């Protein structure tokens, strides 16, 4: 099978804090979200472009329409293109923004289309279209939470997603149903049907701690799942940072602070 997108080679380094190194042939280009860049060889030219730089945007009107959708959901209007202007091979690297794993996806072998969390995209070969996937069902729109607005990656090149914690890949057979926390979805192939389901039962609603809704994914297709959504991590850090120890009446009192290191000056 031939590709219309740029064909790039890559290597992934690291364990908990990974980065992907992309090898570019002369005049090949990789596209990345602002802030993903880590390092590059001399001979690679950086350029800020409007939209994703793909051929599928269809002129100025198409670019404005796609940019408007990205702006609507808080995404950046611009992306950065990294082009090899050197006669030989050059390398550029992109780093993950928080602990987790980088997922390489060859769109040519995934039906040309993958839906992912809007903050999961890291970088891709030039020609891959990065757009917004709006859910049509009203219930999904109102209650989807993290999983409501998704990005769609279309093309036949390589794309790289980032996920938090451990990542597992689940292949769903035709009609097979998976119920999952919306934040734990990294992405899925186009054949997977996605919806939101209410968590029934007053005890679940009040005391379950898992929210009122979860996502349902129905096969056939492939689903990528993360154990630590960034929103969950941020919530725990915020709760820990604002925690105040109540020392009045404590058995340990000041001793507790000394054990924490607060008593030493």
88-141: pLDDT as tens digits = 999 999 998 888 999 999 999 999 999 998 789 999 999 998 888 865 554 444
Between vectors from CA 41 to CA 102 and to CA 4, what angle results, nearest 5°?
60
* Structural domain count of the chain: 1
Report in angstroms the alpha-carbon separations of 44 from 92, 193, 204: 8, 40, 54
Is residue 205 assigned to a domain? yes
149: in domain: yes
Q: In this predicted structure, what is the pLDDT of residue 251?
A: 47
Residue 234 lies in a domain: yes
pLDDT (tens place) for every residue of the chain, 265 residues total: 678 899 999 999 998 889 999 999 999 999 998 889 999 999 999 999 877 767 545 556 666 666 665 565 556 678 899 999 999 999 999 998 888 999 999 999 999 999 998 789 999 999 998 888 865 554 444 444 444 578 899 999 999 999 999 999 999 999 999 999 888 999 999 999 988 877 766 565 555 555 567 889 999 999 999 998 877 777 777 877 765 555 444 444 554 454 445 444 4
Tell whether 263 is covered by a domain.
no
pTM as predicted: 0.79
The strands making up 185-189's β-sheet, listed across from edge to edge, are 129-133, 150-154, 113-117, 185-189, 221-226, 167-172
Q: Is residue 190 part of a domain?
A: yes
- What is the CATH number for 107? 3.60.160.10
Residue 78 lies in a domain: yes
Q: How far apart are CA 20 and CA 57, in angstroms?
A: 27
Structural contact between residues 177 and 216, judged by C-beta atoms closer than 8 angstroms? yes
The domain in which residue 109 lies consists of 9-242
Judge whether 262 lies within some domain. Answer: no
- Kindly state whether residue 151 falls inside one of the protein's structural domains: yes
Please report the pLDDT score of residue 118 as a whole number.
79
């Amino acid at each position: 099978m031939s590709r219309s997108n740029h064909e790039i080679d890559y290597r992934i380094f690291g364990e908990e804090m990974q980065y992907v190194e992309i090898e570019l042939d002369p005049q090949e280009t990789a596209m990345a979200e602002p802030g993903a860049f880590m390092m590059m060889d001399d001979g690679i030219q950086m350029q800020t472009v409007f939209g994703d730089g793909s051929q599928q945007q269809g002129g100025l009107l198409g670019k404005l329409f796609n940019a408007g959708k990205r702006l609507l959901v808080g995404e950046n209007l611009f992306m950065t293109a990294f082009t090899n202007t050197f006669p030989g091979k050059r390398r550029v690297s992109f780093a993950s923004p928080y602990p987790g794993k980088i997922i390489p996806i060859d769109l040519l072998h995934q039906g040309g289309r993958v839906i992912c969390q809007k903050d999961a995209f890291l970088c891709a070969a030039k020609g891959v279209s990065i757009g917004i996937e709006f859910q049509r069902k009203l219930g999904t729109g109102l209650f989807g939470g993290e999983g409501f607005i998704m990005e769609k990656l279309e093309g036949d090149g390589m794309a790289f997603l980032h996920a938090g914690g451990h990542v597992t890949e689940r292949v769903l057979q035709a009609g097979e149903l998976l119920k999952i926390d919306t934040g734990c979805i990294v992405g899925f192939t186009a054949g997977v049907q996605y919806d939101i389901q209410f968590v029934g039962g007053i005890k679940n609603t009040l005391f379950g701690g898992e929210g009122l809704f979860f996502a349902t994914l129905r096969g056939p297709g492939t689903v990528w799942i993360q154990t630590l959504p960034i929103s969950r991590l941020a919530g725990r850090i915020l709760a820990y940072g604002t925690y105040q120890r109540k020392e009045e009446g404590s058995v340990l009192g000041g001793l507790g602070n000394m054990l924490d290191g607060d008593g030493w000056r």
